[in-house]
Amino acid sequence: MRVLMIDDDHELCELLHDVFKRFGVELIFALDGELGLKLLQARRFDIVLLDVMLPDISGFDILQRIRLTSDIVVIMLTAKGDEKDKVLGLNLGADDYLPKPFSSDELLARMKAILRRTNKSHHNNAIDIGDMSFTPARNTAVISGKMVKLTGVESVILKLLVSRAGEPVSRDHLYRTVLNREPMPYDRSLDTHVSSLRKKLGPMDDGAHRILSVRGVGYQYIA
């Protein structure tokens, strides 16, 4: 696993570099946003660890620029635990959000869990349903000839819902399978990802929603 960390906390970067090295994880870090973006263009990475508070560019701005060209896994790291910041990061395409301080063990576990869920080794066959052709391995969907790029988490959610089209999938199951954690009170992470997915996919030709909210249960992709 090769990880790019964009964070101006040099001590934290060095600490994680040494910890990850023991687990065979290569961590390369940039102390400002511009350098981080240059490294991301020049080399291949599996995950980006992105701090919100950077000296030159907001982490949210960097995330937006990354999502213009890449669906790489992005985990936001920040001392700001405000709910609005978390929702904003997820809406902009972050795959996960971990407030500081955090343990290196938890971060490493989250990284591995996300890569398992979004593994590119999944079969490359497209799933055709209605007017949509969805390829999980590429995190893409083609709707009426238009390509839609998804984040890794959005792709996993869509795959789960499409595999049980016409049936509701519980929120608890989605939290455990997609986000690798139990649902917590006031945690809107899943809803934010689903909302973003809905916007990207758009409605059916007849105006009907593709993904329905099933009250008291979860979400359902229409048959």
- Taking the domains of the chain in order of start, what are their residue ranges? 2-117, 127-221
Give me the residues of the chain with pLDDT under 70, please. Answer: 80-81, 118-125
Side chain identity at 186, as an amino acid letter?
Y
CATH of 2-117, one of 3.40.640.10, 3.40.50.150, 3.30.420.40, 3.40.50.2300: 3.40.50.2300
pLDDT score, position 120: 44
Strand partners, 135: 140
C-alpha 105/C-alpha 93 separation (Å) is 24
Strand partners, 134: 127, 141
Output the six-digit token pair for 145: 């000839």
Q: Does residue 39 contact residue 50 with C-beta atoms inside 8 Å? A: no
- DSSP per position, 47-87: EEEEES--SSS-HHHHHHHHHTT---EEEEEES---HHHHH
Residue closest to 98 by CA, chosen among 76, 65, 131, 71: 76
- CATH fold label, 127-221: Arc Repressor Mutant, subunit A (1.10.10)
- Which run of H or E residues covers position 170? strand 169-170
Polymer length in residues for the chain: 223
Side chain identity at 88, as an amino acid letter?
L
Output the six-digit token pair for 178: 């997609």
Burial label for 211, CB within 10 Å (0-12, 13-18, 19+), is middle
Output the six-digit token pair for 192: 């934010």
pLDDT score, position 128: 83
